[in-house]
Structure 1
Amino acid sequence: MVQMASLGSLNLSDNFISGSIPPSFCSLQQLRHLYLSHNRLSGKFPVELTRCSLLMLLDLSYNHFEGPVSPQIGNFRNLALSLNLSSNHFQGNIPETIQNLILLEEIDFSRHNFSCVIPSSIERCISLKYSYFSNNIIQGPIPESLKLITDLESLDLTHNQLNGTIPTWIGNSQMIKFLNLSYNRLSGEVPKPGRFRFFNRSSFLGNMGLCGGTTQMDLPPCEVQHHKHKTKKKLLYVIVTVILGCMLLLWVAFIIWYLFLKQKYRKQDVMLTAIPNIHGTSTYTERELEVATAGFNEANLLGTGSFGSVYKAIMDDGRTTVAVKVLHEETVRSYKSLKRECEILSKIKHRNLVGMTGLTMNPQFRALVLEVIPNGKLEQHLYPGGLEEETCELTLKERLSIGIDVANGLEYLQEGCPTQVVHCDMKPQNVLLDNDMVAHITDFGIGKLLLDRPNDQASSIGFLRGSIGYIPPEYGQGSGVSVKGDTYSFDVVLLEMFTRKRPTSGMFSDGLDLRKWVVSSFENDILTVVDVALKNDRQA
């Protein structure tokens, strides 16, 4: 396994592998996808896998693991795609530490012997879409905490010992598309409104105490106690006049309130759809950018990210080439934030920053038009072909010049802007080089915008962004972002430029990182950590 330290995905499913998972799996520090399903693996929950800190998908289904699931399952903080432990022999409680899996989209704990309640801490799994807990001995009511998972699409709790009534929040959820509560001990009337009208009898089979619901659920009608019904009817006749009067007053108040809100949101819509007043930039229509990018053709795609996609565009009858960044986020909050960013970015003018030349903004389509830097990313020059083994052709003079360019750009963002900007994601991928090997920082517009203040640390707008290996340690301890964080990330980039070692390289483990590795060489010979190409250039 040591020789496979850079392995990113491993699929050993559908074999006859037996025994326990070997401790050597801990050495796979770059592993992101691990498939071990349909084998004969046994033993306790493999806590050693929690040391694979970058793991995004883990499939241990259809094996012979047993015992309780360790609380250390909460250490899989980067699990984002799937955690599948189904069809084993786990038992006991579901650990409260699953609350740490805030990025996880799918969890499958079906076909075990869990004899517990679903922990309320599951409400913190805010990214969860698919949840399967069938064929266990889970008890208690359906937890109310599940309603806080707003993106939940599938919920399977069949073949358990759940009791109580079916909560109304299931019908209020706009996301749940698949629901199976069959073969439990649920009772009471099944609600009808909301999403319940899309579920049929297969979602409620085997619950003898259920009644009511829609006709397609095919449940028995609930018993009507006639004497209670008559009492309520008489009471209704007594107070009907008072209620009508109150309803009339409420209706008038509602109309006034509705008209007030309508006027308020009409003003807000006008504000949100207005194009910011930005000097020095051009305003384009969506059609103009669509023509310039050949219909946003993939052949013109320069790159993608969580915030949007960037396309090459030919403008002015072929005389001008620009980059068009099409934004993906759809919330009103992000729309307001974008308008503010555009106003600030229009004032940022520096030879070492990628500038904005135009924009398009409407409720359906938002894009920034940026300068094109033609010579690629610094990362591509440091690692030709994406590999550390390939020879880098950047000379010592060029690397020093690039470092000075990046430092000048950061100094401007921190000291020269009316509103200080913290990049939050300084790395070689965000440094572009032009044909004269001049460096330009990009993607600073989605960093932190620090408002006017007397020092270099304050509350920020937006949320923390960064890349593993370049994030300052204090950020992981909850410290607010600051210009010092960018300085730390820039220092890591400098070390990477002159050593040509990625901070995420497999050689860095057990507490050793790029910075400590370089510092340790001062006691012996600093040239041992310098890029071989630079040493050969020096000898020549």
Structure 2
Amino acid sequence: MELGYNKFQGPCPSELCYLLNLGRLSLSSNLLSGRLPSCIGNITSLRYLYLDSNNLSFNLPSNLWRLRDILELNLSTNSFSGSFSSENENLKALITVDLSVNNFLGDIPTAIGGLQSLQALSLKHNRLQGFIPESMKNMLELQYLDLSFNNLTGEIPNSREVLQNLVYFNVSFNRFRGPIPHGGPFANFTKLSFLSNEALCDAPWLQPCQTLEQSSRKKTVLFVLLALGSAVVAMVVSFLVIRKWRRKIMSPSNLDPDTTFERVSFHELRQITNGFSESALLGSGTFGSVYKGIRENGMTWAIKVFDLQLDGAFKSFNRECEVLRCLRHRNLTMVISACSNPDLKALILEYMPNGSLEKRLYSGTHILNIMQRLDIMIDVACGLEYLHYGYPTPVIHCDLKPSNILLDQDMVGHVCDFGIAKLLGDGESVVQTKTLATFGYIAPVHLQDEPVKNKIACISSILELALCCTADASKDRMTMNDVLKHSRRLNFNSLGLKPLKQRRMV
């Protein structure tokens, strides 16, 4: 029974339990909620059960572990909670288990080592704690093991070196300590398997493990340094407070405006995006992905997460932070905050409910009329004019294209993605601004709201303006000041439209 990728809502129907000869059941990617029926274990003929990407919750029914002949079990991306039953050792035929992106608690049971046919196990993005069971050394068929994004502690047992078939291993974002195993399959794993742990050591990219004597000496030195550092910090803070107080009394008009950003934790970002799941994905770009997150107060954010495995991702993140921290304009995407540590780089941006201009132009489902197109064009010109002339250091975007223009609830255009932007200092020449970005083009459009013959004059004016901006010699191109002026004087009479309202003015 294949019922996945639909819009079924409500509880998972208990009537399924009457299908006693069912071998395969898929309800993946629906909107099912509530408990998994307690009678599910009665379908002992089941070999494949897929309930992933729903809203199912509560504890797993105890008789689920009666499915002794099941081969594949996928309950990922739900809200299941509770701890794992030690009865899972009864499922000795299991080959694949995916319980990731849920709210499972407690320890990984020792009995899991009895699943000696298991080839793939994913428990990532849960709330598991405790140690990796020593019994897992008996799972000799295991090829894929993902325990990332939990609260697991202790050392990674050397006994994992006997798992010769293991080709993927990930324990990132836990609290593991001690040396990383070197033998067996661990010789092939990189630092991407061990990111953001408490105190792992003894790997080429980490510090060597310390002896007990070294650790004790280090703690003593650290205590002394912390004491001295605290004293220095206290003195500096006192000095700054007094200085700020004196300046406030003597010259209140000279104080800097409040430009602080809201502090955001990785835990909150993970929570409001359901573990950065595909269901929250808004889109992907050159250096990462953008997710939609809804906070408890109802505010919606767009979270741009950079893929640190890609060359240039660190530089792109730093450049966007450098550019966006000081820029403020109604036609630029506003940065709300950032989350940064050695293993995660993310920008929190204002959410644009109408998506990108690219989707509006080419999706075929949301046709823009010519007036909307002209409005958005002028929005973009306003944003660029501010970047070039409205800030002490000129900013060159370098990658302007429809996918980098976002539309808010009022269809106002906002320029985004400053990952390869350039900030020009004094005396920098045109040579230093040359950048190879996305190739531009003038694509054909099918304008469907009025007869095309009534638009030809206006479209001709737009194309003429565009061609003036693309002259080979830079001296022959218009400045953004002139582009904005000409945009506001385009020939709207042929369309029977009134001139643009002042709402489009900066």
TM-score category by the smaller chain?
0.3 to 0.5
Q: TM-score, normalised by structure 2?
A: 0.41
Q: TM-score, normalised by structure 1?
A: 0.39
